[in-house]
Amino acid sequence: MRIDNVIRYAIIPLGGLGTRLYPLTLETSKAMIRFLNRPLIEFIILKLVTQGVKEIYLGVSGYVNYRNVYDYLGEGYRISSKYGLPNSFRVRYQPLEDSVGNADSVRIVIEYYDLKDPFIVVQGDTVFDADLADLWRHHVEKEAFMTIVLKELENVEDIKEFGVAIVDPDLRIRGFVEKPKRLEEAPSRSVNTGIYLFSEEFTSFIRSPEILEMRKRGEMDFGRDIIPKLIREGKRVYGYTKIRYWFDIGSPKRLLEASLYLMRVLDPEELEVTETWNGVKLQGKSARSRALHRDIIERAEKKIIVFEGEVLVGRHVYIGDHAKIRDSVIDNYTIISNGATIEGSIVMDRSFIGKGSVIINSIIGRHVKIGNNVFIEGSVVGDDARIGDNSRIIKSKIWPHKELDPGVVIENMVFK
């Protein structure tokens, strides 16, 4: 391997139905979930192409995944234009062939496009920040067949949700303990992020007859099947731990946690923020957005609107008098009526929050209409739902397009 090489190719598997994110992904690819007021896939692609990746291969599987992602990204020119990037990267797609796991999706892409160079794999429900040049140097220095980006976690409950690495002092990986039930069973605090760097030899390995036999048995998951096989065969599998942040956005809880954390720590430029005021970060460059910014700030200065903590406000958002917003993300074209309260929550684009309504630790999907004096806590409301006046929704999930009559009380339920 040449030390001066760069990572030019990336494969992003997008298979699966995203069931853990239901109801947000019932009609939307998880890659297209709204994240900090943009599609999630946009964050992933920007992180790659701004560090030299030239070809993005999307391992799309299923109609929803393909339709949503292709209609938004096309071949990548839209993102190039939006961010003023050179038209030097391209988005390509998995052909219409069913995959039986994330490794199989990678195999299909490698075979179809005849890839023979090193490449990186990033899961489609991941946000991360790592120096790819440093990752490549580490990979070359270790003469690795595969390098797995590891993230050290402190929270015991989080560690239980991932594969935990058995790792030597020199970062060679000897195995994983999958989802240990107790912390004592975890060999370390370093978990598998699902970000993998492969040497060119892997392109032959994944197309070998032995792997094709594994495919017939449905054994094509990286964590469960491919990585253990590589380790058993003595392949040089190493870990890499220099990662600024990483989030697996595989559930509403993790989506909310990642959004609120990165809203606080990312630079205004990364968040596309054009104006700030006392922890309030406002997006939008148009004359209309600027006018709304000025109006919001003027009323906040007079305490007519109350902001607490960190708040991200999207483009063309209207906030009524006596509204209170704390530690939340408000997406584009949302209307928040007089006296509404939003705390620790995400309200996605084009939603309407009625007068006096309260939303706490919840996610409100796209184009949702919430009536007056509604109370929602610890819940997820799917796209285009309608919630009647004076309703109460606690620790529940509301499926897209559902309508709740006024005064309905739902607790610990899934309303389909």
Look up residue 212 and give its two tokens: 């094709």
Q: Are 344 and 350 in contact (CB under 8 A)?
A: no
**Residue 336 is inside which H or E element, if any?**
strand 335-336
Round to whole Å and give the CA distance between 152 and 188.
8
> Which residue's structure tokens are 């030390």?
3
Round to whole Å and give the CA distance between 1 and 18.
37
The model's pLDDT over 317-354, given as tens digits with 9 standing for 90+, comes to 999 999 999 999 999 999 999 999 999 999 999 999 99
Q: What is the mean pLDDT of residues 129-151?
A: 95
pLDDT > 90: percent of the chain = 70
Q: How many residues does the chain have?
A: 416
Q: Are 9 and 110 in contact (CB under 8 A)?
A: no
Q: What is the pTM of this model?
A: 0.90
HSE (side-chain half, CA atoms, 13 Å) at 402 = 17
Q: Are 253 and 259 in contact (CB under 8 A)?
A: no
Candidates 343, 338, 337, 372; CA nearest to 359 is: 343
Round to whole Å and give the CA distance between 355 and 341.
9
pLDDT > 70: percent of the chain = 97
What's the mean per-residue pLDDT of the chain?
91
**Residue 178's pLDDT band (cuts 50, 70, 90):** confident
**Which residues, 6+ apart, have CB-to-CB distance to 202 below 8 Å?**
145, 146
For residue 366, report the phi and psi dihedrals to the nearest 5 degrees. -80, 140
pLDDT at 316 over 90: yes
Longest dimension (CA), the chain: 71
pLDDT at 4 over 50: no
The model's pLDDT over 43-74, given as tens digits with 9 standing for 90+, comes to 999 999 989 899 999 988 766 677 888 888 88
